[in-house]
Amino acid sequence: MQERVTAGAAAGPAGRNWAGNLAYRAARLHRPTSVAEVQEIVAGSPRVKALGSRHCFNDIADTPADLISLDALEGDVELDAPGGAAPGVAWVLGGTRYGDLLPELARHGWALHNLASLPHITVVGATATGTHGSGGRNGSLSTSVAGLDVVRSDGELVRLRAGDADLPGAVVHLGALGVVTRIGLRFQPTFSVRNNVYLGLTWDRLLADFDEVADAAYSVSVFTNWHEVTQVWVKSRVDELEVAPEEFFGARSATEPSHMLPDTPVENLTEQLGVPGEWHERLPHFQLGFTPSRGEELQSEYFVPRAQARTAVGALRALAGRIAPLLLVSEIRTVAGDDLWLSPAYGTDVVALHFTWVPDEPRVRALLPAIEEALRPCGARPHWGKLFTTSAGELAGLYPRLGDFRELVRRFDPRGAFRNDYLDRTVAAHV
């Protein structure tokens, strides 16, 4: 039986996660102001985990003893810029949210290559779980990582940098290696983006021209309830496309701002209707100062090789009658492949199949095995930070470097201080 902390459980001092479906059990919540304090807490705790923005929907950050929030760490963003238009590296503290970093980069004329749909999440939490944005040429947020400072379980600070053999295994680390106190992100010159929303795309046209649709702009998101395609968000770089077309594969351009969730105010969305804006003002779906999406929701997501896109979409459409009653919206996006050991895009370009659910965890969990069974022939990998029931045995078959990751965990955490129920049932990191 899978153990998990539910909304009915007693919460420790850390309270609950963002969605409210999980109560953290930790006896203590620490907010250190220095790396030395982090080292002392980690070395002295029998079980310890780092806590980010709490935007995970499962117990990946849960532990019975000590939680560490890094939002009080003292220090500034450090920009290592070589000069000219050459890319550089931004070094930020472990508790930094994207929404705090983005204006600082933009102020200096720099940009990240990709962003998630919301800027509310921490850089470390997003990259540690393989979180992504969209775009067939764009790798996940994790592919920006140029280095990590990690406090391992004996309290030693380990610095991993580009070229270190362990870095590709440590970027998507699921909290199993230690507490990341500083992270480096590669940046590039700034760019402008426009977002155009299109209505009326048919399934026949999407599936017939899937690659062309997905690659039509810098970032493309297809929204659906699995009965029909409801919207397509097309985010194009202004320097690559001067004017957005009025028609998109037979779909018509929206004439007023549109929310992907029915009957939901558009105030929390980034600007649409093709109005150009800086990269950080358009690539996310949601604005930092507002509750993203609906707030009261659960999420799941599965990644399949891009070559399996049509098969996977067909399998989910066959389940539309079971999915729709629990669904707020689904989103279909593409992500470029990478070489990060536990990245859902490891070794292949992928299609991300995202589900935003109504906040009814028992019914959602009861449905997930049917979705996973339908996607199993496509080699679906679940998002590490969202709801799924895929077993450790099946995950081992989906990640060729999982054995290497387990060995990395044993070197960084020989005493099992970062071990928890989540790691035991997913990657069996200490086996």
pLDDT given for residue 1 in this prediction: 28
Count CB-CB contacts under 10 A for residue 318: 12
Contact present, 87 and 187 (Cβ < 8 Å)? yes
From 78, 71, 23, select the one nearest 51 (Cα to Cα): 71
pLDDT category of residue 5 using cuts at 50, 70 and 90: very low
- Average pLDDT score, the chain: 93
pLDDT, tens digit (0-9, with 9 covering 90-100), for 176-224: 999 999 999 999 999 999 999 999 999 999 999 999 999 999 999 999 9
pLDDT, tens digit (0-9, with 9 covering 90-100), for 301-339: 999 999 999 999 999 999 999 999 999 999 999 999 999
Contact present, 384 and 300 (Cβ < 8 Å)? no
pLDDT category of residue 87 using cuts at 50, 70 and 90: confident
The 10 Å CB-count burial string (b at 16+, else e) for 283-299 is bbbbbbeeebbeeebbb
Domains and their CATH numbers in the chain: 78-190 (3.30.465.10), 192-388 (3.30.70.2520)
Quick one: average pLDDT of 71-98?
89
pLDDT at 9 over 80: no
∠ at Cα 424 (423, 427), nearest 5°?
60
Contact present, 286 and 186 (Cβ < 8 Å)? no
pTM of the model: 0.95
Q: Residue 254 CA to chain centroid, in angstroms?
A: 28
Task: Identify any residues that bridge with 353 across adjacent strands, giving them in sequence order.
Answer: 302, 332
Count CB-CB contacts under 10 A for residue 28: 14
pLDDT given for residue 84 in this prediction: 66
Measured between alpha carbons, how far is 137 from 117 in angstroms, rounded to an integer?
17
pLDDT given for residue 78 in this prediction: 93
pLDDT, tens digit (0-9, with 9 covering 90-100), for 129-167: 999 999 999 999 999 999 999 999 999 999 999 999 999
Contact present, 123 and 55 (Cβ < 8 Å)? no
Task: Identify any residues that bridge with 23 across adjacent strands, giving them in sequence order.
Answer: 16
Contacts of 141 (CB under 8 A, 6+ apart): 112, 114, 115, 116, 123, 126, 127, 131, 132, 133
pLDDT given for residue 3 in this prediction: 37
Quick one: average pLDDT of 254-283?
90
Judged by DSSP in three states, 277 sits in strand
